[in-house]
């Protein structure tokens, strides 16, 4: 029996009351808090960094799942580890030495994830899959919440699911972008076990609503 996890993306939350919005999704049962870090360089948007991670750490024991959309990667990793991140994921195009970055994340006591944009080939997994704790498949181009799910992510999920099952290691398979009530079941069938959801949980008004969270879980 697969354990499914929901990772609300606080990118879509109301930042004027971020603490409350995090507590609300945790109370609804969220296992992860997905923390989108954008640098206006690797992606055309600018969001939050280690200071905000440190500020929210005392609010919850849930996993803080940091998605780095920054270039370069390595110099910000220790800051996130100190700020209480549990998982740190990065894009292979954003670092010169993928294996070194994975090692650095683990040395800092965090779990390591590798992220695949819609057009990033899966062969970046070839020599590192067994060192990873998480593989994140992007189903939108990174940079913004509220985009439409790109269906080519489904065969990619299936391919990664197969590779993870073949090596038999406990590696999370996460999907990020456009996850909604009407597609989450199909995404789960393709092999994902961890579902980032931003706008589906926080809505257009950026305020969480337990009904929206419950509908996502019920649709799984
Ligand atoms: C996009 C981010 C996502 C985003 C998802 O670059 O990585 O985590 O917040 O938002 P939705 O669920 O609205 O597509
Ligand atoms: Zn993300």
Q: Domains in the chain, start-ordered, CATH in brackets?
A: 5-219 (3.20.20.70)
Taking the centre of ligand 1 as the mean of its atom positions, its distance from the CA of residue 168, in whole angstroms, is 29
Contact 201, 25 (CB under 8 A): yes
Active site residue 36: yes
Taking the centre of ligand 1 as the mean of its atom positions, its distance from the CA of residue 11, in whole angstroms, is 7
Interior angle at CA 195, CA 192 and CA 201, nearest 5 = 155
Residue 177 labelled as part of a binding site: yes
Per-residue model confidence as pLDDT tens digits over 2-61: 999 999 999 999 999 999 999 999 999 999 999 999 999 999 999 999 999 999 999 999
Q: Check if 199 has its Cβ closer than 6 Å to any atom of ligand 1.
A: yes
**What pLDDT, on the 0 to 100 scale, is given for residue 210?**
93
197 vs 147: CA distance, rounded Å: 11
Atom of ligand 1 nearest to the CA of 38: 6
How many other CB atoms sit within 10 Å of the CB of residue 151? Answer: 13
Q: Check if 196 has its Cβ closer than 6 Å to any atom of ligand 1.
A: yes
Q: Residue 94 is encoded by which pair of tokens?
A: 């954003």
Global pTM reads: 0.98
Taking the centre of ligand 1 as the mean of its atom positions, its distance from the CA of residue 187, in whole angstroms, is 15
182 vs 188: CA distance, rounded Å: 12
Q: Closest Cα to residue 7, out of 76, 70, 87?
A: 87
153 vs 186: CA distance, rounded Å: 11
89 vs 67: CA distance, rounded Å: 5
Residue 29 labelled as part of a binding site: no
Per-residue model confidence as pLDDT tens digits over 89-99: 999 999 999 99
């Amino acid at each position: 029996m697969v354990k499914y996890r929901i990772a609300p993306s606080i990118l879509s939350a109301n930042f004027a009351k971020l603490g409350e919005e995090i507590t609300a999704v945790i109370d609804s049962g969220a296992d992860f808090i997905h923390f989108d870090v954008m640098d206006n360089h690797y992606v055309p948007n600018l969001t939050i960094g280690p200071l905000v991670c440190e500020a929210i750490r005392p609010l919850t024991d849930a996993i803080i799942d940091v998605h780095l959309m920054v270039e370069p990667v390595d110099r910000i990793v220790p800051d996130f580890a100190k700020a209480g991140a549990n998982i740190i994921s990065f894009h292979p195009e954003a670092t010169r030495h993928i294996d070194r970055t994975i090692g650095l994340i683990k040395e800092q006591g965090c779990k390591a994830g590798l992220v695949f944009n819609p057009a990033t080939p899966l062969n970046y997994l070839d020599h590192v899959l067994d060192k990873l704790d998480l593989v994140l498949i992007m189903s939108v181009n990174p940079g913004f919440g509220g985009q439409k799910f790109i269906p080519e992510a489904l065969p990619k999920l299936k391919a990664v699911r197969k590779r993870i099952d073949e090596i038999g290691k406990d590696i999370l398979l996460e999907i990020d972008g456009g996850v909604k009530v009407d597609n989450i079941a199909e995404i789960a069938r393709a092999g994902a076990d961890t579902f980032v959801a931003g706008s589906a949980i926080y809505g257009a008004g950026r305020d969480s609503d337990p009904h929206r969270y419950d509908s996502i879980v019920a649709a799984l």
